[in-house]
Amino acid sequence: MKEENATVARQRTDTAEGAGRGVLPGGPAVAGGGSATLAQSLRSRHITMISIGGAVGAGLFVGSGVSIQQAGPGILISYAVTAAVVILVMRMLAEMSMPRPDTGAFAVYGRLAFGRWAGFASGWLYWVGWPLGLCVESIALAQIVHGWLPALPVWLTALTVVAVVSAVNLTSVRAYGEMEFWAVWIKVAVIALFIAVGIVAVAGLLPGTPAPGVGNLVDHGGFLPMGLSGVVIATSGAMFSFSGTEIVTIAAGETQDAAAAIRKSTRTILLRVSVFYLGSLAVIVLLLPWNSAAVGASPFVATLSHLGLNGASTLLNIVLFAALLSTMNSQLYASSRMLFALARDQDAPAFLARVSRRGVPYTAILLTVAVAVLCLLLQVFHPTTAFTRLVNITGDTVYITWIGIAASHLVLGRHDRAAGRRPATGTGVWLFPWLTWATLIALVALYAVMISLPDAREDAVLALGFTVAIALVGLWLQRKRPVRDQSTALHPNQPQEVS
């Protein structure tokens, strides 16, 4: 059995080495191709639901209200533009990951394209935000439970939820996949029901609710009451709503048939994004005035209440509970795998690459949980505005991560095509390299808009400075502490298997 595993590992390393040397002649040889030490027990159905869970988070149910207030009915344009960007970014990731699926995902692709410093910066930049996100989501989920059971203190519920999610992730990657599968199903079912009821109401077929026509789209300042600037500003919020879609390529490294799973997920993301986001938002702005206070506070509750559905807030809280649980589950999964990949590639302490006999990177999970719990306790017992600022700064790095993905695709896509490796059907970026360039420019432009906005400027500038600082550390490591055996593999430190 050990000989078989060693053979598989050598095959993957050889494949990735060839890709690494072929991309940047004279640069460091880089191994991609999935981690032989992690259990590959996820299936296509898990990957499909993981990709949906990443695209449809709690932001749709709550955060979209703020975006509607910023753009009015023009929010449909904001989300359509963002959806187009997400689709292109996902196709870039699919194109890069199919020939080289790896738990390090875009961090590995950045290293292949630009060198060790880029992989180091991309990986750490991505990881650092997740423990903070895990803390924030656990507190939000605990507050929902506190509304149902006031006797339970928020901190205790938050710790309990973190413990449950940690136990699931420590059990096996299959346990993570199953939990995500069913949690996402709850979200999908409720959103589908919401859209279906909304369509019936818009058509005037719901008893007691007259057909609204298009009045709410044009009667309150027009379709673009805040002008194009409002649409651009709302696009920033929409971008954050979609953060997490990239987790599917991290999970590909632990999938039984990664290529097929990635291909299926990429082909269907357009339909999912269009239906869930544009469909639900269209129902909201058609049925209710965009500038009503209720829409700004909670658009889904406001819509359901308008339709005379009692208990709307309770229903939304149940969905939010599932959405937050799903988000926490994926946050811990993605962050631990990225930390594992960094350690495997000698960009983090070697002990973080240890895995259990079930193929779980338990040390990476435990460190991530420890940081999240520390943040949780500090925020519950000693809340400060500095914590909120830090969360906002790490949230802004979503743009920078996607900018890095587009830049890596320009390099890897060009070299793959020059070497005669064409993208698999249904996964390549159309009109390469022009659409990749367009996506890169759009992302940079959106970030520039954030810097130009007084309310967002400081966080955006600090996030950019944080990114530069991490990149400089990566450059120093690349010059002073090169990977020991660049000619053979990226994984010289084989993880230690424990019971």
DSSP-derived secondary structure letter, 497? E
Of residues 287 and 255, the one with the higher pLDDT is 287
B/e letters for 296-314, b = 16+ CB within 10 Å, e = fewer, are bebbbbbbbbbbeeeebee
Q: Is pLDDT above 90 for 123?
A: yes
Ranking 64-73, 121-130, 292-301, 460-469 by mean pLDDT, the lowest is 292-301
Query: pLDDT tens, 437-463?
Result: 999 999 998 889 888 878 778 888 988
Is pLDDT above 50 for 476? yes
**Which residues have C-beta within 8 Å of that of residue 272, sequence separation ≥ 6?**
51, 52, 55, 56
Residue type, 253: G
Domain assignment present for 319: yes
pLDDT given for residue 419 in this prediction: 86
Bridge partners of residue 356, in order along the sequence = 498
| Rounded Cα gap, residues 319 and 53, in angstroms | 13
In a domain, 497, yes or no: no
In the predicted model, what is the mean pLDDT of residues 383-402? 76
Q: Which tokens go with 356? A: 């259990």
Instruction: Name which residue leads in pLDDT, 388 or 255.
Output: 255
Q: What is the pLDDT of residues 293-324, one digit of tens each?
A: 777 777 888 888 888 877 777 877 888 888 88
In whole angstroms, how large is the CA radius of gyration of the chain?
23
In a domain, 217, yes or no: yes
In a domain, 146, yes or no: yes
According to DSSP, the residues that pair with 355 across neighbouring strands are 497
What distance in Å separates the CA atoms of residue 260 and residue 248, rounded to the nearest whole number? 13
pTM: 0.81
User: How far apart (Å, rounded) are the C-alpha atoms in residues 433 and 413?
Assistant: 8
| Structural domains counted in the chain | 1
Would 102 be classed as within a structural domain?
A: yes
Q: Which residues of 468-494 are buried (b: 16+ CB within 10 A; e: fewer)?
A: eebbeebbebbeeeebeebeebbbebe
In this prediction, residue 58 has a pLDDT band, given cuts at 50, 70 and 90, of: low
Instruction: Output the domain CATH number for residue 269.
Output: 1.20.1740.10
- What is the pLDDT, as a whole number, of residue 483? 60
Q: Which domain holds residue 320?
A: 40-482
Please report the pLDDT score of residue 270 as a whole number: 64
**pLDDT of 496 higher than 70:** no
Partners of 497 in the β-ladder: 355
Q: Is the pLDDT of residue 482 over 80?
A: no
User: In the chain, what are the helix, strand and coil shares in percent, each to the nearest 5?
Assistant: 75, 0, 25
3-state secondary structure 290-303: CCCHHHHHCHHHHH
DSSP conformation class of 341:
H
Selected residue with higher pLDDT from 390 and 162: 162
- Which parts of 163-294 are beta strand (E)? none
112 in a domain, yes or no?
Answer: yes
Give the Cα separation of 4 and 376 in Å (integer): 44
Q: Is residue 4 part of a domain?
A: no
Does any domain span residue 493? no
